[in-house]
Structure 1
Amino acid sequence: MSDVANTEQARAWNGPEGAHWARHQDRWNAVNGGFDAPLLDAAAITATHRILDIGCGSGRTTRLAALRAPRGHALGLDLSAPMLDEARARAEREGIANVSFTQGDAQVHPFEAGGFDAAISRFGVMFFADPVAAFANVGRALTPGGRLAFVLPAAPELNGWVVAVNALRGILPVGDLGRPGVPGMFSLADPDRIRDVLTISGYTAVAVEQAHADGEWGQGAEDAAEFLLGTGPGRHLMDQADSTAQDRARHTLTDHLRAHETADGTVLLRSTAWLVTADRPATPSDRS
């Protein structure tokens, strides 16, 4: 892997968190997959595009981008070796040849200048140690006039999984699940901060609009509760509780999630995100 600026996130995503996401990639894609089509549509990918997928994880969006650019290429970049191993294996099994994956930190990775026509990210840009430096580095990797498109979470209270976890207050030590401006899930939840960061980073035509999707968290409330408590935030909370509190948390969360079961038992939770697009400025020759 090239140099890493975001060492704390690198440790996390190459440890238990990365292993969990790699092991459960299909479940996480069921949670977040409702944003795939809007994201790729916003990126305006053509058949010959070269696409960079930032924080690609196990590579679902990278592979989908590659399929939209059959005469182009998609590169997925992520800090997590476990997830990249899954991404490569899945691409090989699916027979997608115009895709590759690299381990690296988008903030400092030595991209080829102007090497990509579009950059995308599905929930992969919230963890930058220095968002301005990271987005500026990605911007240099875009060809003049290239498009940046990403989705990231809106305010915590607009996301069903956060509401579900907050139902455990008084049982588990649920605190602040994230604050704007601090690297983490909700670091860019303020749309004004998104616009400021991208403008300072050198982008133009910044657009921020709200998007919604119902994610599938499990088959039955018990299954969904077990999965949610097995995520990074869930494990962190459960590890701080005794067995009695853990049992109460499971029962309480299961009861909360029953209200979100569909007729076939699928547990759906609404996610609210910001769908963001921005452009690298075109040179005068590109505009002429």
Structure 2
Amino acid sequence: MTVAEAWNGPLGRHWAAHPDRYDAMLDGFDAALFDAAAIAAGDRVLDIGCGSGLTTRMAARRAPAGRVTGVDISAPLVGRAGELTDAERFPQVDYRLGDAQTCAFEPGGYDLAISRGGVMFFADPVAAFTNIAGALRPGGRLAFICPQPAQPDGEERKALGLLASLLGRDHTAENAVATAMASLSDPERIHQVLGAAGFTDIGVTGVSADTCWGKDAADAVGFFVSRAPGLTVSDATRAAMTEALLPHESPRGVMLRAGVWVVTAHTGRRASRAGRDCADRAQGSCADGAQGLIRQESRDSP
């Protein structure tokens, strides 16, 4: 199954049906993203991989005199984003169904592109970011977050890995997305891809925060299992999964610590062929000059 098929199949429909649950998992990183984006009142903002549109609407609140376009490859999510945005009445917001790698954006039509975990799924990352750069005005800005490498002893990795092993089933859609999620987990790779796409002033900052998976362990397990439609889980397996999450219960819910990269950049003149060649060689010698400042921060959810 391809990533596009996953996001337009059961996985995408599940995200569209439960936007509040998924947004709660990610809201610990929202402040870091929007601090980096520094949206001005009149900015024209492009939200890549906008999902159900929460970050699009957050951008619109910060740019009341501008405009915000959300783009996503998932038809269920774009449909849901439109419904939620209409309910909140944001006249300066519109949505596009499509792949940001190939969308025909207005050249120089935006001041800023943002993404909350929506830029890891491109078939050709350099081509995708080149297309995004073309949509930005000269000196335009880019701000996005993407996952850090999964740590074997990390809370989220250990808990979710245990849940998956207890289920004992191969989830094709989940696997396709999980594989793509790691495509920009290496900061060196981020520098290579963005540099080849014509971006400059690239910065990468590590941020960790708590992610909320449910109000308690039983609720989190129920939600996790519901991501695999048609799956039958025995009482014994459900009990074992619940027990595995009990250590992570808190007054705020089931909280699992996770880390992301907050990435910022500006548009440059043009991607060079040497830069594209560099991006194609993850370990190439031309990567020596790609290293930028990498900092680590920790944020606690309110």
Matching of residue 86 in structure 1 with residue 74 in structure 2:
no
Task: Establish whether residue 164 from structure 1 lines up as the match of residue 159 from structure 2.
Answer: yes
The equivalent residue for 2:218 is: 222
In 2 relative to 1, CA 278–223 (structure 1 residues): closer, same or farther, beyond 3 Å?
same
Contact between 2:43 and 2:110, CA under 8 Å: does it hold in 1? Answer: yes
Q: What's the CA shift for 1:222?
A: 0.5
CA drift at 1:162: 2.4
Aligned counterpart in structure 1 of residue 199 of structure 2, from 198, 203, 223: 203
Residue type of the partner of 2:220?
Answer: A
Query: Which of 94, 97, 100 is equivalent to 1:103?
Result: 97
Change (3 A) 1:183 1:196: farther
Alpha-carbon contact 2:198-2:269 (below 8 Å) kept: no
Mapped partners of 1:204, 1:172: distance in 2? 45
Structure 1 residues 149 and 53, CA gap change in structure 2 (3 angstroms): same
1:253 aligns with 2:241: yes
Indicate yes or no: 2:254 matched with 1:267: yes
- Compute the displacement of 1:97 (Å): 1.5
Q: Which runs of 5+ in 2 are unaligned?
A: 271-302
2:225 aligned partner, one-letter code: L
Moved more, 55-64 or 205-214: 205-214
Q: TM-score, normalised by structure 1?
A: 0.85
For residue 71 of structure 2, the aligned residue among 62, 68, 77 is 77
Distance (Å, rounded) in 1 between the aligned partners of 2:191 and 2:242: 38
Identity within the alignment, %: 46
Q: 1:27 to 1:171 in 2, by over 3 A?
A: closer
Report if aligned partners of 1:164, 1:253 keep a CA contact under 8 Å in 2: no
Q: Which moved more, 1:47-56 or 1:248-257?
A: 248-257
Inter-partner Cα distance in structure 1 for 2:127 and 2:269: 20
Deviation at 1:15, TM superposition (A): 1.1
Deviation, 1:195, is 1.1
Letter in 1 for 2:267: R
From 166, 173, 188, the equivalent of 1:192 is 188
> Do the aligned partners of residues 187 and 173 (structure 1) sit closer, same or farther apart at CA in structure 2, a change above 3 Å counting?
farther
- Preserved contact between residue 178 and residue 187 of structure 1 (Cα < 8 Å): no
State the shift of 1:184 in Å: 1.1
TM-score, with structure 2 as normaliser: 0.81
C-alpha distance 248-210 of structure 1, shift in aligned 2 (>3 A): farther
Query: For residues 137-175 of structure 1, what are the alpha-carbon distances to aligned partners after superposition, in whole Å with 9 as ceiling and x for unaligned?
Result: 101101111111100111122753322122247644589
Range that drifts further, 150-159 or 111-120: 150-159
* Structure 1: runs of 5+ lacking an equivalent: 1-6, 284-288
CA contact (8 A) 1:46 1:68 kept: yes
Structure 1 residue 220 displacement after superposition: 1.1
Q: Deviations over 1:26-65 (max 9, x none)?
A: 1001110121121112112100000000000000000000
C-alpha contact 2:67 2:93 (8 A) present in aligned 1:
yes
Q: Secondary structure at the match of 2:182?
A: coil
Amino acid at match of 2:214: G
Q: How does 1:45-64 map to 2 (within 5 A)?
A: 45-64=39-58
C-alpha separation in 1, matches of 2:237 and 2:128: 38
d(CA) in 1 for partners of 2:182, 2:34:
22
**Aligned-partner Cα distance in 2 for 1:86–1:11:** 17
CA 1:282–1:133 in 2, change beyond 3 Å: closer, same or farther? closer
Paired letter, 1:227: F
The residue type paired with residue 53 of structure 1 is: D
RMSD between superposed Cα atoms in Å = 2.5
User: Shift of the alpha carbon at 1:183?
Assistant: 5.6
Task: Quote the offset at 1:21 in angstroms.
Answer: 0.2
1:125 counterpart SS class: coil
Distance in 2, matches of 1:24 and 1:129, equals: 27
8 A contact 1:178–1:186 mirrored in 2: no
Q: What amino acid is aligned across from residue 269 of structure 1 in structure 2?
A: L
Match of 1:132 in 2: 126
Structure 1 match to 2:264:
277
